[in-house]
Amino acid sequence: MKQALAPRMRIARIILGLIMLLAPVTSWAEQHLYATEQAAQAHCPKDVVVWLNTKTGVYHFKGQRWYANTREGAFVCQKEAEGRPTRNGQ
């Protein structure tokens, strides 16, 4: 019985591997992340700068409790943050 399942498992692994290779990859590394609010604002002068918690994907506006106050995060442009899998921290 185990020998009959082996070829199916091998095929399933190959298919899964191909799906993972062909799926679009979205990571924070592809996004413009800035260490300072000023740098982010220079990149997007007509947009709102938000603080993105890169671990959770939640972004926060200036004046909110977690703006620039999470362990893992960066300043980003709101429109760019909205184009990625993030959540508004309001």
For the stretch 14-67, pLDDT in tens is 776 555 544 444 454 556 899 999 999 999 999 999 999 988 889 999 999 999
Residues 6+ positions from 35 with CB-CB distance below 8 Å: 74, 75
User: What's the domain count of the chain?
Assistant: 1
Q: Indicate whether 10 belongs to any domain.
A: no
Q: Indicate whether 21 belongs to any domain.
A: no
The tokens for 87 are 């959540």
Least confident interval from 32-36, 67-71, 83-87: 83-87
Q: Indicate whether 31 belongs to any domain.
A: yes
Q: Indicate whether 19 belongs to any domain.
A: no
Q: Where in the sequence is the domain holding 43, given as residue range(s)?
A: 26-88
H runs (alpha helix) in the chain: 2-22, 37-43, 78-82
Q: What is the pLDDT of residue 1?
A: 53
Q: Indicate whether 33 belongs to any domain.
A: yes
| Whole-structure pTM value | 0.62
Q: Indicate whether 36 belongs to any domain.
A: yes
CA–CA distance from 89 to each of 44, 60, 81 (Å)? 20, 5, 12
7 pLDDT more than 90:
no
Q: What angle do CA 58, 37, 27 make, to 5 degrees?
A: 40
Q: Indicate whether 77 belongs to any domain.
A: yes
Q: Indicate whether 49 belongs to any domain.
A: yes
Q: What is the pLDDT of residue 35?
A: 94
The tokens for 62 are 């200036």
